[in-house]
Amino acid sequence: MDFLELAKNRYSERYFSSRPVEQEKLDRILEAGRIVPTACNYQPQKFYLIRSREGLEKLRSVTPFHYNVPLMVLVCYDMREVWTNPSDRYYRNYNSGEQDASIAATTMMYEAEEMGIHTIWIRGFDSRTVAETYGLPEYMIPVMMLGLGYPNERAKANGWHYRRKPIEEFVYEL
């Protein structure tokens, strides 16, 4: 399958089976997140695997959007390793952490899809609560969670998944 076809067919899964993701597939997914381009190649992205019973129980206390995933990847960035641009007048104190972590998460999402593992991008949580619940260091900033797993028999794309605005609403000449 070519990349555009893969990207068009991928959807946010909300119905996961309990089947675990094989370690060799997880390793490929994590490698996809490791090798992404980052600002000045500083590589501030960090991945925390949540798959133990205890870890998944904690997950239910920090977000209602857990969808009973067998594996959640908490994608963070290390504030000590980000590229900054203090001269940007629009974004004072800009740092690349969220951008770099998001590139990593997106790449992992598509690598998972390529292997038949479904995903859901989750941002419905309070970052400080997540950091405190999982005991992250103060400099580790949660950006999002990527739920990974195999679909169950109820799996299907939501109706709005295939509705897309026309390209003219995205592309402009300067």
Name the residue among 73, 130, 129, 131 with its Cα closest to residue 102: 73
143 touches 101 (CB < 8 A): yes
Cα dist from 155 to 4, 61, 100, 101, whole Å: 22, 24, 30, 27
> How confident is residue 162, by pLDDT bands cut at 50, 70 and 90?
confident
The answer, yes or no, to whether residue 170 has pLDDT greater than 90, is yes
pLDDT at residue 53, as a whole number: 96
Q: What is the mean pLDDT of the chain?
A: 96
Residue 1, pLDDT score:
76
**pLDDT at residue 67, rounded to an integer:** 94
d(Cα 96, Cα 84) in Å, to the nearest integer? 6
List, in order of start, the domains of the chain with CATH numbers.
3-153 (3.40.109.10)
Helices (H), 39-164: 53-62, 97-114, 127-133
Residue 80 burial (CB count, 10 A): 10
For 71-89, how does the pLDDT look when each residue is reduced to its tens digit (9 = 90+)?
Answer: 999 999 999 999 999 888 8
Residue 129 pLDDT > 90: yes
User: Each residue of 17-74: pLDDT tens digit?
Assistant: 999 999 999 999 999 999 999 999 999 999 999 999 999 999 999 999 999 999 999 9
> pLDDT tens digit string along 89-117?
898 889 999 999 999 999 999 999 999 99
Give me the pLDDT at residue 119, please: 98
For tokens 């679909």, the residue is 151
Nearest to 115 by CA among 142, 151, 163, 154: 151
